[in-house]
Amino acid sequence: MTMMTGAQYEESLRKMNFKVYLMGEEVKNPVDHPMIRPSVNSVKMTYDLAHDPQYQQLMTAVSHLTGETVNRFCHLHQNTEDLVKKVKMQRLLGQKTASCFQRCVGMDAINAVDSVTFEMDQKLGTEYHERFTRFLRKMQQEDWTVDGAMTDPKGDRSKAPHQQDDPDLFVRVVEKRDDGIVVRGAKCHQTGALNSHWVLVMPTIAMGPEDADYAVSFVAPADAEGIIYIYGRQSCDTRKMEPGADIDLGNSQFGGQEVLMVFDDLFIPWENVLMCGETEFSGMLVERFAGYHRQSYGGCKSGVGDVLIGAAALAAEYNGADKASHIKDKLIEMVHLNETLYACGIACSAEGHRTASGTYLIDLLLANVCKQNVTRFPYEIARLAEDIAGGMMVTQPSQQDFEHPVAGKFVAKYFRGTDKAPAESRMRIMRLIENLTLGTAAVGYRTESMHGAGSPQAQRVMIARQGNIEGKKKLAKAIAHIQE
Amino acid sequence: MTMMTGAQYEESLRKMNFKVYLMGEEVKNPVDHPMIRPSVNSVKMTYDLAHDPQYQQLMTAVSHLTGETVNRFCHLHQNTEDLVKKVKMQRLLGQKTASCFQRCVGMDAINAVDSVTFEMDQKLGTEYHERFTRFLRKMQQEDWTVDGAMTDPKGDRSKAPHQQDDPDLFVRVVEKRDDGIVVRGAKCHQTGALNSHWVLVMPTIAMGPEDADYAVSFVAPADAEGIIYIYGRQSCDTRKMEPGADIDLGNSQFGGQEVLMVFDDLFIPWENVLMCGETEFSGMLVERFAGYHRQSYGGCKSGVGDVLIGAAALAAEYNGADKASHIKDKLIEMVHLNETLYACGIACSAEGHRTASGTYLIDLLLANVCKQNVTRFPYEIARLAEDIAGGMMVTQPSQQDFEHPVAGKFVAKYFRGTDKAPAESRMRIMRLIENLTLGTAAVGYRTESMHGAGSPQAQRVMIARQGNIEGKKKLAKAIAHIQE
Amino acid sequence: MTMMTGAQYEESLRKMNFKVYLMGEEVKNPVDHPMIRPSVNSVKMTYDLAHDPQYQQLMTAVSHLTGETVNRFCHLHQNTEDLVKKVKMQRLLGQKTASCFQRCVGMDAINAVDSVTFEMDQKLGTEYHERFTRFLRKMQQEDWTVDGAMTDPKGDRSKAPHQQDDPDLFVRVVEKRDDGIVVRGAKCHQTGALNSHWVLVMPTIAMGPEDADYAVSFVAPADAEGIIYIYGRQSCDTRKMEPGADIDLGNSQFGGQEVLMVFDDLFIPWENVLMCGETEFSGMLVERFAGYHRQSYGGCKSGVGDVLIGAAALAAEYNGADKASHIKDKLIEMVHLNETLYACGIACSAEGHRTASGTYLIDLLLANVCKQNVTRFPYEIARLAEDIAGGMMVTQPSQQDFEHPVAGKFVAKYFRGTDKAPAESRMRIMRLIENLTLGTAAVGYRTESMHGAGSPQAQRVMIARQGNIEGKKKLAKAIAHIQE
Amino acid sequence: MTMMTGAQYEESLRKMNFKVYLMGEEVKNPVDHPMIRPSVNSVKMTYDLAHDPQYQQLMTAVSHLTGETVNRFCHLHQNTEDLVKKVKMQRLLGQKTASCFQRCVGMDAINAVDSVTFEMDQKLGTEYHERFTRFLRKMQQEDWTVDGAMTDPKGDRSKAPHQQDDPDLFVRVVEKRDDGIVVRGAKCHQTGALNSHWVLVMPTIAMGPEDADYAVSFVAPADAEGIIYIYGRQSCDTRKMEPGADIDLGNSQFGGQEVLMVFDDLFIPWENVLMCGETEFSGMLVERFAGYHRQSYGGCKSGVGDVLIGAAALAAEYNGADKASHIKDKLIEMVHLNETLYACGIACSAEGHRTASGTYLIDLLLANVCKQNVTRFPYEIARLAEDIAGGMMVTQPSQQDFEHPVAGKFVAKYFRGTDKAPAESRMRIMRLIENLTLGTAAVGYRTESMHGAGSPQAQRVMIARQGNIEGKKKLAKAIAHIQE
């Protein structure tokens, strides 16, 4: 097997043995839990589309290791074309799921770890890259979804890892044994972790020598003993538990997922350890992973944006307002902002370059610029969608009222729009807009846009570092004829 | 009795006989329904604070009809000081409830109806103002909460009321009888209707002669036979139904409420009719009510904004990030935007003027400018709050997990912040921010800011009309020495 | 005499004996120098309008010292109505001159110095307030224009006054004598200084004990021996020197003025000294003066904005584009932003309060919010004006070409607009827009909006200080039920 | 000769016989006129850098016609790499000149005319492409600068060309003869026309059959008899005429140029006619030229932006304010916005595609998105530069005062900054910022950013057309499960 179908993926997940808590209960079969299920469907789409001839050019790639066709999510970028196709694949999946499809973190993690382990080995004589390549070969062969896990709880953000009151607030090595290491700590906000076969753990910040125990990277089966998941609440999450839930979900089929992943003294054999104490490389790994992941958002968020723009356009049409010039202008603005995000994703890809290992890296400055825009424009696109939709999006009655013998006839009568817009269509599109701006998908479209791949200030630090202000000063001095 | 206490208000509501549907079921006791209860508490606050000596100067006024002290929500503004105090009262209540407290629509409606009925009578020889004054005297005496009902379903927005496929898509008179009229139709997005004693219905747009049946205004008991309520869903509304619901609500005590209010051939005796066919006055009534209500938002939204700014500042403190210059700068920006809203509310009040009836009207241009800013700045304040809060706000586990014997210890361990920020405090503040930006209160803080008192384009039309572009052209010609 | 006419003002200026350098030459008669003249005309307007019955209510006030009618620019604000009228007077003058009319700094300075000297005397037993009141009485009687001088050169901004390499980079007392003091230093960016009869000098920052020599305030005749003026260049300033200059000026009649004012060991008798070493009061004086001056911009800049909006509307009309919905929408946006500035000016005035001396002070928080908006919105209004105007505003030929026998016919033929827009009208309005966005008036409308009365960061510091973040945290804790 | 040096270019210009009016006089030697000279220098840079080995990869290309190395400005883009290099070349030249270097319009015109004439010939059997190719071969061989002339005066913008009162308000064919055509009319805002060897004229809008006389494209020597130039005024233009002009220019060496170009019954032989009556192709030609030119701005404006950012950073350093966090943050924001422009330029290039003639076209949607951002971000970058610079930029005295024996010592004393910032350096950098935000270069950096290659609304129309709103509606319906 090289590429699973969606059905095969689903089956493979069912065989996993996760330890999960959700709403105060242990969940034995997460795949079929109604609150979790839509997030499985989103990942599943990454498998199904890879078998659709229409999309194969984007969804698949030829492995540089084996020459076999693999899902692009398991691929190392071999050139700038690969980087560009990655972004286009992400936009496509955003359009098809209107959600976070979760599989990008693993793709971004393997690409970052590849070049960094290569350069570590070159400088330090370690053997991390070989270990990693063995893992990657297996990952491609089995078509695994991998969780790239970076963000630690961090506790008091004004303190370094080793300064925290509780030493476990960053993931750390608590024991080094002959056969491997024992790690303790947790990773927060883990997108899609429960839908993954393996997890690739990375440190979360640049570190100094005193933080050596915290400079740790490794892979582990996602259901390894010692890993505990606690499921994160999303806005409107329990609507999925309501009987007959459909209209009120907005997007009944797809969703995202975030969990707290706890390492309760997890054992990792040496062959799965990819960094252990090399603090001078932790910053580089963070920078590269974050760079790839900031590029990603130029793709996925513009895909989700496409759906939101379409929904707003439909709402206007149903309201009989689509001919109003201010409505048309707002839709243009939404498209403009959305395409600016996409343009930044494309640009940092087209301007990518080869690293020592052969894997291509995006342009770091432009990738950070891309993400910085992502922390702003989806919010404005959402605001404009809410403007166009009208208040009904947050005041319309429940699906149950719509289906009630007495109340339902009033709902049908008074929530219709133009003669082509029955109440149900209108209610569905309002709920989709609600879903993306306030509901479960707002977690992905708003908060993840803000904080995923690093909060806005993290990009600003990188822009300052990469922006070559000194070079710009020289340009200005030359023009102004200032000799110093 | 002139001013009820909160407890008396609550009792008075229990005696009402509403017909209400919610989540597919008829609700017999809305006051104590967990999904409705917080909205009752918000209105209750408007009664309780009127008895608090600290706030009486803002919360009460002396009736120009009786000379008695009345709740300011039942008062007609007698001077610009009243207009300014109104805004300050609203900011106070926004601070105390972090919600829409719902009682403003009635206050804004009585002030608008007073001057318009006065001017109608002057011009047409009708007797609407006398009827209205009788109602107002009773309203002040009984300290009623009144729902000001304006927004019709509208169907196809490109069509006038009489052009709609279904003639009931705007409220209309279906029968005129000797003793009164029969009305049919509905009002949407009715804020606080179920928490009201009476409803004051107004037309929703300027109308031409063909729309005469739609130019209708009246008062009715909120539980009159023929009025049916269908409760609107809010984001995260059912969290209030969860056992032990507290932390996950963010704001467990207060909330807002919107309903669809259906007039199923409701009979109104003539003494309660305040407009019936006078289409030439419908536009004026809309303009004045909307003007007052656009002023209101300069008060209430800045009050809610205060809470959100405080919550963001606490989140930063708990995260150990409050010393970072970018965090301090974001808080300053939030304050700046919030105070700009307030300044516009104050300005349109201080620049108010007397109408023919003696009631003071705000400056219409500045009130529209105020509301236009309200359609923008709360969104940016919310975005900045989400930036400061961090991703935990949408990924933290449920209260049930926090209280679970196994999962709970991990939650407590890994979600703590600085040494002064236990996980529970942090979770509470994250949930409050979620509540205001994505949850039940986002309906008030975001969508109502956008669409309440008219959507953004409605203000732009008014700004165009009031902005005196022709006068400005003359100024420019004088400076440029253009004679024509 | 209590109120001069414009003509009398002009004559009074001619009698002054200024020492001025401009473009490398000493100017003997600044009043009639073509580059300076328009700035005289702007100040003159403050005298002429005070005699126009239509504007007297705004332009004049009754002196609290003498009961006589005085020009409002010489008045101490006795109530919030005075504060509001001040803003309205400024808007009026902005509309009439489309320029900085320069007389506000003196008005703002006397109001600040009044309450601060009063409180200094109360606390320290000094007699500054009595001296000041004597000066004020004379100023009102003679109807002087007074330059309020605050901004020092500052040298290295990271250093305090006493730390600078050159001790003169802040104005300081170099000698204390029996009969008075000798001061050295300079004040930069002095708006209208050359059009003033007297100058009122104030310190520019809060100071510590080591800066005692720099905590100095005094009044002096503007043409005192020891004061030297060096005239500042403005964009397009020399167009005023071109033969027959008219069209190309955009605003041929009015303008602003900034100078470097050097104190070359200037002697000040004690009776004119208003602060001398009381460092603990320098911060308060700066804060109050800046507060008043930040209020001012809510008036004058919205007045200038009115002219720019009118000019843009005319440009659209001449271009035949005034019916386009995007043009109408841009004009609405310009009005909206401009009125927001005005609203903030009104609000900080209406919320003013009495100080110990009886003079009314604006609300400091809202005045800083007002100015902060002034650092943004005029730029956006200008951008929109440039959008509406079209490129002709920067590519049209000179007036001389328009008047040239050969070239002129082509200019007239090809620069006409609609059939009601001859080339000359169009060129005039384009030049007016150029003047306000790029030319001499852009100095007032853009740069002064940014830096006058303190740069943006100065307002942010004040907003942080006045914004009561701690109080807001308490509100949030109450809602979230956090006990600590 | 294939590539001229700058000196050769300058000599070649001197041999031209232009008919030019400037400030009311005919100019016989435009190359050496002080107001024109800096614009010659900017174009000259495009010749000189092509001989600099460091930049040859960007500045030159291999002709697909001859296989010879040509200046990239004479090249047709053969692949997306060419499109990307074009943008990088433009950024480089923006950095080196801090001005509009004017040669892009010709490059963009030949690329557009190539594919459009090819497709015209294919469809209509005409022979325009062959004529064009002959011209192009000569242009490459002689290394000509070509003015691409599109914008007509337009008169009343609400009317089509044939509806104008004066039929000459769009360029038109007034006579068709056996040997050629006679054209009358004018082109406005012609960037660099006087620095060109030839002019390539194109129609300015999509046209209908009644506008056939206006659908005309041709090439002509720039100094042909019948072409008259009237030079456009820029803000601060005459500073270049001041004796010893240096500091006050900000950028003493480089500048831009715009003229009104009049065709006073100009004769064009048939071999130089490239469109004559084919109205159905005028829209396509405009769209493609505008598309290329909108791409261009992603390059040149980000290059100029680099200089402005550098200047602002220097101003902060000289002021001793470069360590302030708000200054650092503003510089980051400037870089962020500037790189977003560049990213859009790169993206529309990387996403380009081949046209029928073999020439590559940019992605039209992304090119319009690029330009739309250019109408906004340079204004904000300029605003931030003005914020950082401080008021001195518009109030500092003239160079003559700085050099004056008396005034100069005060200027030197009081305008110094930190101990490393003598007054002259500081004044120079302030003047450079003034030049870019208010002065001659503001014409290029602001107004041209706004209106060059089409005003903002023109891009919005294209974004609406290219944005595939219908496709987005389908995506939304699929997610919301709406069947219709």
C-beta of residue D120 within 8 angstroms of C-beta of residue D137 = no
Does the pLDDT of residue A1 top 80, yes or no?
A: no
Nearest to A350 among D253, D350, D372 (CB): D350
| The token pair that represents B354 in the structure block | 């007397």
Asked whether the beta carbons of residue C326 and residue A326 sit closer than 8 angstroms, the reply is no
Is D214 contained in some domain?
Answer: no
Geometric angle at alpha carbon C451, from C447 and C457, rounded to 5°: 135
Is A267 contained in some domain?
Answer: no
pLDDT category at D484 given cuts 50, 70, 90 is: confident
Residue of chain B nearest D329, judged by CA positions: B326
Strand order in the sheet with D216-221: D146-149, D198-201, D216-221, D273-276
Asked whether the beta carbons of residue D238 and residue C234 sit closer than 8 angstroms, the reply is no
Asked whether the beta carbons of residue B447 and residue A391 sit closer than 8 angstroms, the reply is yes
The two counts, helices (H) then strands (E), for chain B are 18, 14
Report CA torsion sign: B48, B49, B52, B53: negative
Chain C: touching chains (3 or more CB pairs < 8 Å)? A, B, D
- Tokens 């700045």 sit on residue: B377
Asked whether the beta carbons of residue B395 and residue A22 sit closer than 8 angstroms, the reply is no
Residue of chain B nearest D325, judged by CA positions: B325
Gap between the Cα atoms of B395 and A448, Å rounded: 10
Pairing, β C353-354 against β B258-269: unpaired
C-beta of residue B196 within 8 angstroms of C-beta of residue B148 = no
Question: What are the 10-residue block averages of pLDDT along chain C, 484 residues in total?
Answer: 91 98 97 98 98 97 97 98 98 98 98 98 98 98 98 96 97 98 98 98 96 98 98 98 96 98 98 98 98 98 98 98 98 98 98 98 98 98 98 97 98 96 98 98 98 97 97 98 89
Q: pLDDT tens digit string along D5-58? A: 999 999 999 999 999 999 999 999 999 999 999 999 999 999 999 999 999 999
- Tokens 């190539």 sit on residue: D114
Q: Say which CATH number the domain at A461 has.
A: 1.20.140.10
Nearest to A309 among D311, D350, D472 (CB): D472
SS3 label, residue A230? strand
Geometric angle at alpha carbon A454, from A451 and A458, rounded to 5°: 120
What are the helix (H) ranges across D17-169?
Answer: 37-48, 56-59, 80-97, 104-124, 128-142
Query: DSSP string covering A260-298, please?
Result: EEEEEEEEEEGGGEEEES-GGGHHHHHHHHHHHHHHHHH
Asked whether the beta carbons of residue C379 and residue D379 sit closer than 8 angstroms, the reply is yes
Q: How many CB pairs under 8 A join A and C?
A: 8
Cα separations in angstroms, B60 against A228, B55, B70, B140: 56, 8, 6, 11
Total Cβ atoms within 10 A of residue C461: 14
| The token pair that represents C171 in the structure block | 């104005």
Gap between the Cα atoms of C76 and C358, Å rounded: 9
For residue D54, the 8-state DSSP code is G
Residue B302 C-alpha, separation from nearest chain A C-alpha, in angstroms: 19
Is C346 contained in some domain?
Answer: yes
Nearest to C39 by CA among C307, C257, C301: C257
Asked whether the beta carbons of residue D254 and residue A479 sit closer than 8 angstroms, the reply is yes
* The dihedral formed by the CA atoms of D162, D164, D168 and D171, expressed in degrees to the nearest 10: -50
Helix D407-414 to helix D423-437 angle, to the nearest 10 degrees?
80
State which residues form the domain around A342: 284-475
Residue D175 C-alpha, separation from nearest chain C C-alpha, in angstroms: 20
- Tokens 């034995």 sit on residue: A28
| The token pair that represents B261 in the structure block | 């209010």
* Residues D314-335 as b or e (16 or more Cβ within 10 Å = b): bbbbbbbbbebebbbbbbbbbb
Q: Is A293 designated active site?
A: yes
Report CA torsion sign: B367, B371, B372, B378: positive
Q: How many CA atoms lie within 13 Å of B450's alpha carbon, on the beta-carbon side?
A: 21
DSSP bridge pairs for C273? C218
| The token pair that represents B326 in the structure block | 């970018």
- Catalytically annotated residues of B: 100, 104, 191, 258, 293, 297, 300, 448
- Kind and range of the H or E element at C189? strand C180-191
Residue C190 C-alpha, separation from nearest chain B C-alpha, in angstroms: 25
Asked whether the beta carbons of residue D400 and residue C448 sit closer than 8 angstroms, the reply is no
Q: pLDDT tens digit string along B369-380? A: 999 999 999 999
Is A29 contained in some domain?
Answer: no
What are the helix (H) ranges across C351-455?
Answer: 364-374, 377-389, 392-395, 399-402, 407-414, 423-437, 440-442, 448-451
Nearest to A451 among B153, B157, B391 (CB): B391
Is B350 contained in some domain?
Answer: yes
Q: pLDDT tens digit string along D99-125? A: 999 999 999 999 999 999 999 999 999
pLDDT in tens, chain B (484 residues): 579 999 999 999 999 999 999 999 999 999 999 999 999 999 999 999 999 999 999 999 999 999 999 999 999 999 999 999 999 999 999 999 999 999 999 999 999 999 999 999 999 999 999 999 999 999 999 999 999 999 999 999 999 999 999 999 999 999 999 999 999 999 999 999 999 999 999 999 999 999 999 999 999 999 999 999 999 999 999 999 999 999 999 999 999 999 999 999 999 999 999 999 999 999 999 999 999 999 999 999 999 999 999 999 999 999 999 999 999 999 999 999 999 999 999 999 999 999 999 999 999 999 999 999 999 999 999 999 999 999 999 999 999 999 999 999 999 999 999 999 999 999 999 999 999 999 999 999 999 999 999 999 999 999 999 999 999 999 999 999 999 7
List the single best residue of A20, A33, A164, A235 to mutate versus B (max B Cβ within 10 A). A235
ipTM exceeding cut-off 0.95 for this assembly? yes
Nearest to C162 by CA among C113, C218, C201, C205: C205
Please identify which of the residues C128, C189, C293, C344 carries the catalytic annotation.
Answer: C293
Residue B128 C-alpha, separation from nearest chain D C-alpha, in angstroms: 48
Does the pLDDT of residue A90 top 70, yes or no?
A: yes
Q: Exposed, middle or buried, C452 (CB in 10 Å: 0-12/13-18/19+)?
A: buried
Chain B: touching chains (3 or more CB pairs < 8 Å)? A, C, D
pLDDT at C140: 98
Q: What is the CA radius of gyration of chain A?
A: 23
Asked whether the beta carbons of residue D158 and residue C321 sit closer than 8 angstroms, the reply is yes
Asked whether the beta carbons of residue A260 and residue B414 sit closer than 8 angstroms, the reply is yes
| The token pair that represents B211 in the structure block | 């729309």
Residues from chain C that touch D392, judged by Cβ atoms under 8 A, are: 188-189
Asked whether the beta carbons of residue A236 and residue B236 sit closer than 8 angstroms, the reply is yes
Residue of chain D nearest C152, judged by CA positions: D414
Question: What is the arithmetic mean of pLDDT over D182-201?
Answer: 98
Q: Is C258 designated active site?
A: yes
Chain length of chain B? 484
Gap between the Cα atoms of B287 and B113, Å rounded: 11
Gap between the Cα atoms of B274 and B277, Å rounded: 10
HEC secondary structure over A416-470: CCCCCCCHHHHHHHHHHHHHHHCCHHHHHHHHHHHHCCCCHHHHHHHHHHHCCHH
For chain B, report the end-to-end CA distance as a whole number of angstroms. 66
SS3 label, residue A148? strand
Gap between the Cα atoms of C453 and C296, Å rounded: 9
Gap between the Cα atoms of B270 and A187, Å rounded: 68
Residues from chain C that touch A329, judged by Cβ atoms under 8 A, are: 325-326, 329
pLDDT at D339: 98
Residues from chain A that touch B319, judged by Cβ atoms under 8 A, are: 154, 156-157
Total Cβ atoms within 10 A of residue C471: 12
Characterise D132 by phi-psi region: left (phi > 0), alpha (psi -120 to 50), beta (else): alpha
Give how many domains chain B has, as a whole number.
1
Asked whether the beta carbons of residue A348 and residue D343 sit closer than 8 angstroms, the reply is yes
Residue of chain B nearest C435, judged by CA positions: B480
Please identify which of the residues A74, A104, A348, A370 carries the catalytic annotation.
Answer: A104
Characterise C102 by phi-psi region: left (phi > 0), alpha (psi -120 to 50), beta (else): left
Is C146 contained in some domain?
Answer: no
Does the pLDDT of residue D1 top 80, yes or no?
A: no
Q: Is A344 designated active site?
A: no
Is B328 contained in some domain?
Answer: yes
Asked whether the beta carbons of residue B326 and residue D329 sit closer than 8 angstroms, the reply is yes
Please identify which of the residues A74, A236, A300, A344 carries the catalytic annotation.
Answer: A300
Query: DSSP string covering C276-288, please?
Result: ES-GGGHHHHHHH
Total Cβ atoms within 10 A of residue B192: 26
Is D428 contained in some domain?
Answer: yes
C-beta of residue D170 within 8 angstroms of C-beta of residue D204 = yes
Gap between the Cα atoms of A170 and A165, Å rounded: 11
Residue B305 C-alpha, separation from nearest chain C C-alpha, in angstroms: 9
Residues from chain C that touch A326, judged by Cβ atoms under 8 A, are: 325, 329
Residues from chain A that touch C329, judged by Cβ atoms under 8 A, are: 325-326, 329
SS3 label, residue A361? strand
C-beta of residue A140 within 8 angstroms of C-beta of residue A68 = yes
- Catalytically annotated residues of D: 100, 104, 191, 258, 293, 297, 300, 448
Nearest to C455 among D232, D235, D390 (CB): D390
Gap between the Cα atoms of D148 and B388, Å rounded: 50
pLDDT at A2: 79
Asked whether the beta carbons of residue D326 and residue B325 sit closer than 8 angstroms, the reply is yes
Nearest to B231 by CA among B23, B443, B10, B38: B23
Asked whether the beta carbons of residue B428 and residue C84 sit closer than 8 angstroms, the reply is no
Question: What is the arithmetic mean of pLDDT over A420-443?
Answer: 98
Residue type, position B318, single letter: Y
Report CA torsion sign: D87, D91, D96, D102: positive
Nearest to D473 among A313, A369, A428 (CB): A313
Residue B265 C-alpha, separation from nearest chain C C-alpha, in angstroms: 42
| The token pair that represents A296 in the structure block | 């990603």
Residue C283 C-alpha, separation from nearest chain A C-alpha, in angstroms: 32
Report CA torsion sign: D387, D391, D397, D403: negative
Chain A: touching chains (3 or more CB pairs < 8 Å)? B, C, D
Gap between the Cα atoms of C171 and C213, Å rounded: 8
Q: Exposed, middle or buried, B244 (CB in 10 Å: 0-12/13-18/19+)?
A: exposed
Nearest to C340 by CA among C380, C373, C304, C376: C373
pLDDT at C2: 79
Gap between the Cα atoms of A358 and C471, Å rounded: 56
